[in-house]
Amino acid sequence: MEILKDVQAKGIQNIYRRNVERVLAALKVTTDFWKIVDYSDLPVPYASAIINSLLEKGLVRIENDEILLTEKGWQVCEEYQIGSYKDFSCEACQGRGVPFFKNTEFYRTFVGIAKDRPEPVQQFDQGAVTPETTVSRVLHMDMRGDIEGKEIIVMGAEDDLTGLAIALYGGYKRLLIIDIDERLIEFDNKLIKELGLKNVEAKVHDLRNPYSEEFLGKFDVFVTDPPETFAAFKAFIARGIATIKDQGGAGYFGLTLRDSSIFRWQKFQKELLRIGAVITDIIQDFNNYMNWGYHEETKAAKVAPVKKAPRDIWYRSAWYRIELLPGFERTNEPISDEVFYLDEEGSTT
Ligand code: SPD
């Protein structure tokens, strides 16, 4: 409680005792700051503030950019019965429940194509998921009956090449891929042409602008992966819902706790229910992001208590699936530029 109060006194309100416990649990098994963020499911600035408070109180020390529990830190863990972070996820499917190797031909083709993908850029908060993640997303969609015969829109998440992967997989009735980044749309269009992929189109579109009639109520399924601010949630997810034709339509998106707190998740979830959606799936840590080249320029790098950049995968997100119930709401207002990518919880843009 002392650590919690200390962090709250520094202006961080969306935090509770469990967050401090999870940082301590992570510290019992790792000395790497980025793994601590991952294991404690916290926004980087919040994990950093907790570590700084633990440092001030002598519960941890930093040596060569590694964060170590002190004797006092170990004693506190024992006194408060803080267990170690544990991961019992299935090694085959990496906890997704969908092994990417269920369709090895598809996986190999996708990996061959993705190797020439454009590099992620900071301007659009890009950071691509691993090929195993993208392939598992497609298999998961097919497993839920959201590909065959469906009209699908993939919105503003093409750094992951999920649209291109669905196009390669096939079976859909119509596929539209939209993204703000011309490089990604050009990349997709080149492959669509070269491989002769049918009933698929890729177009440049900025999701902050309202949709025209050609998008509204025209699809059975939407897929996206927004930044975690509330403005971005409205631009990507509420607008995704507005593309859905009818009750029973489905939406897929990633939400992370590395750029957003569990308190923000509650706000997102309430909004989803208000709009008329039901959450059918939340698969924690389904999406594994490869480290992006602009890390040194980010707020995350600046607030971290160590200089060491992440080496391994640490940024993961949960994969959500929703279905729309009778009477769901379609909203399509313009979204302001303010706080689109970064706010007090987000730091990796
Ligand atoms: N800027 C780092 C990469 C972020 C990728 N987007 C993740 C969105 C999760 N909803």
d(CA 271, CA 265) in angstroms, rounded, equals 10
Alpha helices (runs of H) in the chain, residue ranges in sequence order: 2-9, 17-27, 33-40, 44-56, 71-79, 104-114, 131-143, 162-169, 182-194, 230-233, 239-242, 262-275, 299-303
Pairing of strands 250-256, 316-324: antiparallel
Owner of token pair 């002598």: 58
3-state SS string for 229-269: CHHHHHHHHHHHHHCECCCCCEEEEEEECCCCCHHHHHHHH
From residue 102, give the alpha-carbon distance in Å to each of 13, 139, 140, 150, 168.
Answer: 44, 8, 11, 22, 15
Ligand 1 proximity of 268 Cβ (cutoff 6 Å): no
pLDDT in tens, the chain (349 residues): 999 999 999 999 999 999 999 999 999 999 999 999 999 999 999 999 999 999 999 999 999 999 999 999 999 999 999 999 999 999 999 999 999 999 999 999 999 999 999 999 999 899 999 999 999 999 999 999 999 999 999 998 899 999 999 999 999 999 999 999 999 999 999 999 999 999 999 999 988 888 888 899 999 999 999 998 888 888 889 999 999 999 999 999 999 999 999 999 999 999 999 999 999 999 999 999 999 999 999 999 999 999 999 999 999 999 999 999 999 999 888 777 666 666 889 999 9
190: its two tokens = 């080149």
Ligand 1 near 225 CB (within 6 A): yes
Distance from Cα 61 to the centre of ligand 1, integer Å: 30
Q: Is 21 in the pocket of ligand 1 (CB under 6 A)?
A: no
The closest-lying atom of ligand 1 relative to the alpha carbon of residue 125 is 1
Verify whether ligand 1 is closer than 6 Å to residue 292 (CB atom).
Answer: yes
Ordered by where they begin, the domains of the chain are: 2-79 (1.10.10.10), 100-340 (3.40.50.150)
Categorise residue 323: left if φ over 0, alpha if ψ from -120 to 50, beta otherwise: beta
Distance 146 CA to ligand 1 centre (A): 24
310 lines ligand 1 (CB under 6 A): no
CA of 303 to the centre of ligand 1 (A): 18
